[in-house]
């Protein structure tokens, strides 16, 4: 869930009970250094990773085309 740009840290906390700093520590521990740096720079620039910064028109946690049936 943390890898997906549209999944907010609040949604992760709701589902798994871990806060943003714990998610960052988990990603740092389980990703290669370069992958973590790319993810961290991508997440830092995203408004969708925090519900308060997200546009009110976005009411889902994933892209429409992510889960194809």
CB 29 within 8 A of CB 41: no
Query: What's the number of domains the chain is made of?
Result: 1
CB 49 within 8 A of CB 5: yes
Query: What confidence score (pLDDT) does residue 34 get?
Result: 96
- Give a yes or no: residue 69 inside a domain: no
pLDDT beyond 80 at 52 = no
What average pLDDT does range 21-28 have in this prediction?
Answer: 94
pLDDT beyond 70 at 32 = yes
- Give a yes or no: residue 63 inside a domain: no
Q: What does the alpha-carbon distance between residue 25 and residue 49 come to, in Å, rounded to a whole number?
A: 16
Q: What does the alpha-carbon distance between residue 22 and residue 17 come to, in Å, rounded to a whole number?
A: 10
- Give a yes or no: residue 13 inside a domain: yes
Q: What does the alpha-carbon distance between residue 14 and residue 9 come to, in Å, rounded to a whole number?
A: 9
Q: What does the alpha-carbon distance between residue 27 and residue 35 come to, in Å, rounded to a whole number?
A: 9
pTM score, two decimals?
A: 0.66
More confident residue, 32 or 44: 32
In whole numbers, what is the pLDDT of the chain averaged over residues? 78
Domain that holds residue 25: 1-54
Query: What confidence score (pLDDT) does residue 65 get?
Result: 62
């Amino acid at each position: 869930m943390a890898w997906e740009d549209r999944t907010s840290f609040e949604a992760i906390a709701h589902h798994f009970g871990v806060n943003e700093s714990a998610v960052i520590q988990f990603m740092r521990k389980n990703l290669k250094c370069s992958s973590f740096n790319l993810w961290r720079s991508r997440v830092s620039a995203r408004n969708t990773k925090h519900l308060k910064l997200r546009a009110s028109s976005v009411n889902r946690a994933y892209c429409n085309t992510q889960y194809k049936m």
